[in-house]
Structure 1
Amino acid sequence: MGSACCKKKSPPEISSGPQPPRQPSPEPVKTNGVHDSQSSPLTRRETPTREILFSGITLSARNALRHLEVFGEEYVREKFESNFHVYHMSWIDQRYDWFLTHDEIPKNLNETLDQSWISACSPQESLPQMKQFLERIKLVLSQIAKDLTEVEDRYAELFAEGAHKIPSRNPLGPEFIPQGIMEVGHTSFRYHRDWFLYRDSRNILEYVIALSEYFKNHYSS
């Protein structure tokens, strides 16, 4: 008598109960025949908070400042045969007023902003000003790079990289720079022109970082 084969019974199917009828995907609301995509929370873009705005400005300014700081000492030594600090102090009171005035930023490079002055600033007024300052820097660094490229100066690429690290929203036109300033003239004039713009670009970046950090910590939403 042959052995009987045992067949395993399949487990009973577990019913989850009656399934609701499949609902069609909702259509976007139409207003006068136009889809109102802004009514959906998935498509609506939230306005960035002040903290996010100032954090973004701080990050861009820090990246640009670090890049400019890297070659500053070597640049001064090569162009002026001087120490960076000594040369900076020799020309500390000289600025291009069209680029930066003492009224706009009451500090020099490597100096700290007075706390009472910072406290008197408002984020509403300072935010567009800081953005415009960054546009100034991007413009002059780009123009310096272009100028130095024409004379095959090895610092052209470094200035161009500095400009590239600053994002642009509302770029300034070349007419912001007074006529004749960026024309390649005597080598000595070009070196001093580039020094003033380089130095004050760093000063502006220090200012932007200090003010952005203050606003981020005191006016975060």
Structure 2
Amino acid sequence: MIAALTASSVAPAQVNPAAEPLIAEGSNDVSIAVEPAQLGAEEATDPLAPTAGDGQPQVADQVADEISPDATLAEKVAKLRSSDAGSRELECLAGAIYFESKSESLQGQLAVGQVIANRAASGRFPSSYCGVVYQRSQFSFVRGHSMPYIPHASQDWRDAVAVAKIVDLQLHPSPMGKALFFHARRVSPGWKLTRVGTLGNHVFYR
């Protein structure tokens, strides 16, 4: 279960060591929920939904061409910051990055986003970002099929959008590789998984 990163977070749910670990039970700031946008249940859980890049290869190629492969992660984020994620799939990915890791370093946010992408590509979980994020009992910031309100003009959201694009376009390697699970350092769920490493306030596993 993923624990929260801020003092305003909810307490993590109890971990059942016999069950497969979930990706997130506990998140960042959920106190800002006012009028969350609704996402239909069929949309949210459709494992065959296209990822953000599907149907947009020319746009993706153009963005990738504008980013130097030698640029630092911070430089890539600065280039790709936006209040508009550009698609429903990237909105889901950026939303999870925002709520789970907005207080983390850019590397920490990248690692969290990459876990979602890894899950979508694994064949073990829904095959889209939205499918992974809205999978039942995975992220506690999700309420039904909606996210809390996000201030889209904020720097944290703009950074999350940039990181989501970097993950989606594979513009920067994740420091946690092929990790599929993570939890906050302040909890000890006792998972029988291969530990990949620790970054910021999260511990990652595969």
- Does the alignment reach a TM-score above 0.5? no
TM-score of the superposition, structure 2-length normalised? Answer: 0.24
Structure index of larger Rg: 1
More helix by share: 1
